[in-house]
Amino acid sequence: MSSKAIGFVGLGIMGKPMARNLMKAGYSLTVYDVVASSVEEIATDGAVPASSSAEAAEKAPVVITMLPDSADSEAAILGPGGVLEGASEGSVVIDMSSIAPGSSQKIAAACETAGVDFLDAPVSGGEPKAVDGTLAIMVGGRKEVFDRHADILDKMGSSVVLCGGYGAGNTTKLANQIIVAANIEAVAEALVLATKAGLDPNVVYEAIRGGLAGSTVLDAKAPMMIAGNFKPGFRVRLHQKDLHNALLTGKELGVPLPVTSMVQQMLGALMNSGKADSDHSAIANFIEGMAGAAISRD
* pLDDT, tens only, 196-241: 999 999 999 999 999 999 999 999 999 999 999 999 988 999 999 9
> Residues 216-248, buried b or exposed e (16+ Cβ, 10 A)?
ebbebbbebbbeeebebbbbbbbbbbbbbbbbe
CATH fold for domain 172-291: N-(1-d-carboxylethyl)-l-norvaline Dehydrogenase; domain 2 (1.10.1040)
Give the residue-averaged pLDDT of 131-156. Answer: 97
Active-site annotation holder among 16, 59, 129, 173: 173
172 Cβ neighbours under 8 A, 6+ residues apart:
122, 138, 140, 161, 163
pTM for the full predicted model: 0.91
Between CA 32 and CA 71, with CA 126 as vertex, the angle to 5 degrees is 50
Q: Which residues pair with 139 in a beta bridge?
A: 162
Helices 168-196 + 283-291 axis angle, to 10: 30
* Cβ burial, residue 271 (10 Å; 0-12/13-18/19+): middle
pLDDT number for residue 2: 56
The percent of residues in the chain predicted with pLDDT above 70, rounded, is 99
293 Cβ neighbours under 8 A, 6+ residues apart:
192, 195, 196
Closest by Cα among 54, 3, 64 to 28: 3
Output the DSSP codes for the chain: --TTEEEEE--STTHHHHHHHHHHTT-EEEEE-SSHHHHHHHHHTTPEE-SSHHHHHHT-SEEEE--SSHHHHHHHHHSTT-HHHHPPTT-EEEE-S---HHHHHHHHHHHHHTT-EEEE--EESHHHHHHHT-EEEEEEE-HHHHHHHHHHHHTTEEEEEEEESTTHHHHHHHHHHHHHHHHHHHHHHHHHHHHHTT--HHHHHHHHTTSTT--HHHHHHHHHHHHT----SSBHHHHHHHHHHHHHHHHHHT---HHHHHHHHHHHHHHHTT-TTSBGGGHHHHHHHHHT--S---
Across the chain, mean pLDDT equals 96
Q: Which amino acid is at 31?
A: V
Give the residue-averaged pLDDT of 186-204. Answer: 98
Compute the distance between CA of residue 91 and CA of residue 1 in angstroms, rounded to an integer: 11
pLDDT number for residue 3: 67
Sequence spans of domains, the chain? 5-165, 172-291
Q: Note whether 64 and 52 are within 8 A (CB).
A: no
For 5-165, CATH number out of 2.60.120.260, 3.40.50.10490, 3.40.50.720, 3.40.50.300 equals: 3.40.50.720
Please check the confidence at residue 297 and state whether its pLDDT lies above 90: no
pLDDT number for residue 126: 86
* pLDDT, tens only, 5-25: 999 999 999 999 999 999 999
* pLDDT, tens only, 38-63: 999 999 999 999 999 999 999 999 99
* pLDDT, tens only, 230-280: 999 889 999 999 999 999 999 999 999 999 999 999 999 999 999 999 999
173 assigned to active site: yes
